[in-house]
Amino acid sequence: MDSIGIELAKLGGSIAAILFLAWLAKQLHLGGDLRIRDEAHARALADEAVCGYQPVDIIIDRAGIGALMKDAQGRHMLIRRHGAAFVARLLDRHSESRLDHNFLTIGTGEKTFGKVTLNLGRDAQYWAAGLRHMAV
């Protein structure tokens, strides 16, 4: 085999390996665009984060990257996308929030959790007021 044939064989092998890895990732449901689909999905994520958490009011970011909810005891929970998973935190008086028209930016003060900006539409003002008047 000449050098061009060897290089073409290497190229073909590399392309085959890449296609195999892409197929394998799809079969394992890796990657993709992770979004909160609906309220039922948000409820399941909340219960997964805090066993027994039953939200009575839920709002999901318009892009599905996060959700904000409140239970009957007035506890607020923030769920946000973090890489290929969702993470959640119960919010307290130490949480920070900033309202900018339809956008509500919320932070827990934890560096590892970070801040998230949710597009909540006209309901952003309602939720911002609720966070300012948290009892817990």
Record: fold of 39-132: PH-domain like (2.30.29)
Backbone angles phi, psi at 90, to 5 degrees: -80, 135
Continuous segment of H or E residues that includes residue 130:
helix 124-132
Residue ranges of the domains in the chain? 1-30, 39-132
- For 17-68, the DSSP string reads HHHHHHHHHHHTT-SS-----SHHHHHHHHHHHSTT--EEEEEE-TTSSEEE
Averaged pLDDT in 10-residue chunks for the chain of 136 residues: 86 93 83 85 92 93 93 91 87 86 89 88 90 70
